[in-house]
Every structure is written in C-alpha cells, then in structure tokens.
Amino acid sequence: MKRLWLIFAQAVTVVLAAVFVVTTLKPQWLQQTRWREATIAQTARQIALPPAPPASAVRAGFAQAARAASPAVVSITASKASGRAAGRAREPLFGFPFGPQPRGNPQLGLGSGVIISADGVLLTNNHVVEGASDIEVQLSDGRQARATLLGTDPETDIAVLKIDLPDLPAVALGDAASLQVGDMVLAIGNPFNVGQTVTSGIVSALGRNQLGINTFENFIQTDAAINPGNSGGALVDADGRLVGINTAIFSRSGGSLGIGFAIPVDVARQVATAILKDGSVARGWIGVQTRELTPELAEALKLGDAKGVLVGGVINDGPAAKAGIKPGDVLTRVGERAVTTPVELLASVAALKPRSQVAVGVQRAGKAMTFSVTLAQRERLKPQPASEED
C-alpha cells in the first residue's frame, strides 16, 4: 500500500513539475490551447440548429385543398368484353391518360372519377368507360361499388355515372371562367394504379382548341403531372374546388411531359345537367361548312374588312339553306353573340336548343343582313376539327 502511494506521489510531482516548466518557458502553448477551445465553443454556438418551426409553418402549401377534394376522387376499373376497344385509340402526340389494359378476357382499363353530389353522381371521361360491360368504383376510404352509366357525351368526352353508397363525399364545384394563367392547380387521380396521387402545377393556358381531341374543345392547359390512370380525375384550385376534368396529355412517350389538358367544370356541369334531365345532350345545328376568314382570304374574295366566319358550303335542306344563307356569306353573329372563328360559331350554335329560332347576322356583298334560322338537332359525330361542319 505504501509502495502504491509512493508511486502516485511521484507521478503527481512529475506532472506538476512539467506544468511549471511549460508555464515558465513556453506559456504560449497554453494560450494557444485555450484559444482553440474557445474557438470551437464559439463555432458550436454559431452553428446550433434552430428550433422546430410552428406546426402551421410546417404544413404551409396546398394540403388543405388536397384534403378537401381528395375524398371525392375515385378510382374506376372498366371491364370490357373481349374484342372491344379498351378506351379510345391514342393519337401520335395527344394521348388519353387511360390506365394499363392487361391482356386477357375480359380487358380491364383504369381511370379516375369525381363525385359531384352526395347522392352518388360522379363525372369521368367517356373514353374511360366507352364500351365497358362492367364499371367498378373504389373510394379513397376503401369502399367499392358497381357504377351505373347514366349517359355519355363523346363530343366533349364526358360520362356521368351513379353509385349507391351512404355518406358519400362530394367535391365543391368551382368557376373555371374565373381561372387565370398562372393560378395554382392540383391534379388528383390514380396514375399507373399506384393509388390516389396529388400533383401540383399552374394553369399554363386557357381556351385551348383545334387540337383534334374532341369535337367541342375549350381546354384548360396545365403543367400539373397527368399520367395514365388520371383520365377523369379532378383538377382543383387552391381552395380545393373542382375546376376541370383531366382528359388528355401531349406526349411522345405516353407519360407526362408537362402539358396536360382538362375539360372546364362549366362544360362538364352543363353536360351532366342535360344527361340527368333528358338522358342525353341535345345541341343545335344549322348545317353550314365554314372556313376561317383570314385577311388574305378576305382580300382574295373582295370582302373588304369583313369580320366573321366564311361560309364555304351549305347543307342541302339544312336550316341555313332553308333560311336563305348561301356559300360566300360571312356569318358575323348568332343571336346577340358575335362570332369571328369557326370554333366560336360551333360553340354558339351548339349551345342553343334544337327547334328554337335564332337571328343570324350575315354580310353579303358588303351588306349587313339578318336571317331567322330554325335550328335542327346536331347528330353525334366523331371528334373532328370544328371548321369542318357547324
């Protein structure tokens, strides 16, 4: 024990002697050590992590809009008998984001839909359910139901379905007419059958038409990602209100390239209202073939500064022919609505009821004339450019 104590005392003596020598002969060594320790401590204080932000700041964004709209967005599985087309054929550049269609009997297609009323009425694309023999709907809460097809409108690519389940969530309808380029929007659907997905983007353009996708085109263009399986899903604004039905994409590969198109909710609501009331959509028709009146064409035909839509042909025994409209006339207005393009003329006439009368303004040989036209009912046609027939 004494020996251990002696060793300890000698060791302490040696250490103290070393400290004394360093302090006397090299005091800067101790100063440098203290400076390094102080620097390290100061740096640690400077890089200290900030406290966690408040919960409201963490959740800033569009989570509230997604929570409001997502419960009303459903996944649709359309079963089609063997040999029937599973959705509309894809165009080389403009594709319909319809889901995968496995081989076998029957064929299956995947899309999305939106519940617009608590009694089970929902919207989707016509090409999602076209030719389907069985339509199954799955809600975001896991419930499933077989859907009844109430009606379709291929010319706008809208279909109306009905499911019978209690306590159904319904999306709030917005106003597509109030949208502006640059507004934030969310696309909600079931892309690639991975489950409900929300993507965000902005309104890239409004009033897109003459794309050759539908007969009646007035698309909202967005860069929110729309992929296979999103067809018929919801495009909602920053408040979670429905402003469009996602329907098509511009793509060379079949996937999203940042250019997607949605049918405005105003159009979808008009179609749904007509189907729920009458079972189908009835549109007016006057029976003229039209061309856009360009300045060059107006000069060649010696039409002066006429503004309107050039009548290239008139259907025999059609409403326009019976009223006295002739090829070479320039249509300037339908009722109180001025028309300057074939798209505007098509939309103006189609918005009117068959068998109703409308005053059509015409310029002929530099003179303004008005004809009373009794509209006929437009037959359902395959999608085509609006300038072919109005």
Known catalytic residues? 127, 157, 231
Closest CA to 76 of 116, 112, 119, 120: 112
Range 360-363, long-range pairs (CB < 8 A, 24+ positions): 360/286, 360/320, 360/323, 360/325, 360/331, 360/333, 360/334, 361/308, 361/331, 361/332, 361/333, 361/334, 362/325, 362/329, 362/330, 362/331, 362/332, 363/303, 363/306, 363/308, 363/329, 363/330, 363/332
| Both structure tokens of 344 | 């505007």
The token duo for 345 is: 């003329």
Which tokens go with 9?
């005392």
Q: Which of 165, 116, 98 is nearest to 138 (CA)?
A: 165
Q: Which amino acid is at 354?
A: P
> In angstroms, rounded to a whole number, what is the distance separating the alpha carbons of residues 254 and 61?
29
Q: What six digits make up the tokens of 191?
A: 């892309």
Structure tokens at 377: 């009912």
User: The tokens 């640059």 sit on which residue?
Assistant: 182
Give the list of residues 6+ apart from residue 331 with CB closer than 8 angstroms, or none. Answer: 288, 290, 308, 309, 311, 325, 339, 345, 360, 361, 362
Q: CA 27, CA 186: separation in Å to the nearest integer?
A: 69
